[in-house]
Amino acid sequence: MTEKSKIDDLKQKAQLVLGTMLDYLGLEADLSSEEKGNKLIIKITSNDAGRIIGRRGTTLESLQLLVNRIVFKGEEDSPMIALDIDGYSRGTVVVGDERRERRSGDRRDRRGSRRNGDRSRREDSVPEEQLRQLALDKAKEVKRWGQPVELAKMNAHDRRIIHINLQDDPEIETRSEGEGALKSVIISLKKSEN
């Protein structure tokens, strides 16, 4: 199977999975897909955009996580699937015809006043490359000092990136701890099997 046909199969499978999920939720949407770098983006157009996005993007984030888990079950080296609904996707907001990157420190409350971003809430996702580097840096720290390191609370998508980047390290193990959607990742040395 060629790389092109593999990507086409992934596009079809991802659209089928997402379409089925939206049908079960009673939501109508048109789906299309495109490739951008190492990501496969599924574009959603719907009159129910607000319901699909959810409060602060939580529903969209959950759908994205489920689609990735279902489509790539057991295949960690596959491209990430991102969902984009009417211009709203993880990290971007459409204002008029312009796309603007969201900044974690530039949030507005309901009246439109600026307030400082609270990093412990982690409403926005951290760039993937930054998470990869964080995972590698903390793993080095654990190896050097022998003490476990607990990362700040993060969403499931971000935790998955940490776990995947450290899963092949023979000296390191990771686990998630906490309640609810935001959990901490604990990076520690593997216990010796004596």
DSSP per-residue letters across 55-89: GGGHHHHHHHHHHHHHHTTT-TTSPEEEEEETTBB
Domain 128-189: CATH architecture, name and number where available = 2-Layer Sandwich (3.30)
Confidence of residue 176 (pLDDT cuts 50, 70, 90): very high
What are the structural domain ranges in the chain? 3-102, 128-189
Q: What is the pLDDT of residues 92-125, one digit of tens each?
A: 333 333 333 333 333 334 334 434 443 333 344 5
Mean pLDDT, rounded, for 8-28: 88
Does the predicted model carry a pTM greater than 0.75?
A: no
- 53 pLDDT higher than 80: yes
Give the whole-number percent of the chain exceeding pLDDT 90: 16
Residue type, 183: K
Dig out the tokens for 188 from the structure: 């520690």
Higher per-residue confidence, 108 vs 143:
143
Q: What is the pLDDT of residue 108?
A: 38
Strands 172-177 and 30-36: unpaired
- 157 pLDDT higher than 70: yes
Q: What is the pLDDT of residues 71-80, one digit of tens each?
A: 887 665 667 7
Q: What is the pLDDT of residue 95?
A: 33
Domain topology for 3-102: GMP Synthetase; Chain A, domain 3 (3.30.300)
Confidence of residue 65 (pLDDT cuts 50, 70, 90): confident
CA 82/CA 84 separation, integer angstroms: 7
Q: What is the pLDDT of residue 110?
A: 37
- Please name the residue that has the structure tokens 């080296």: 77
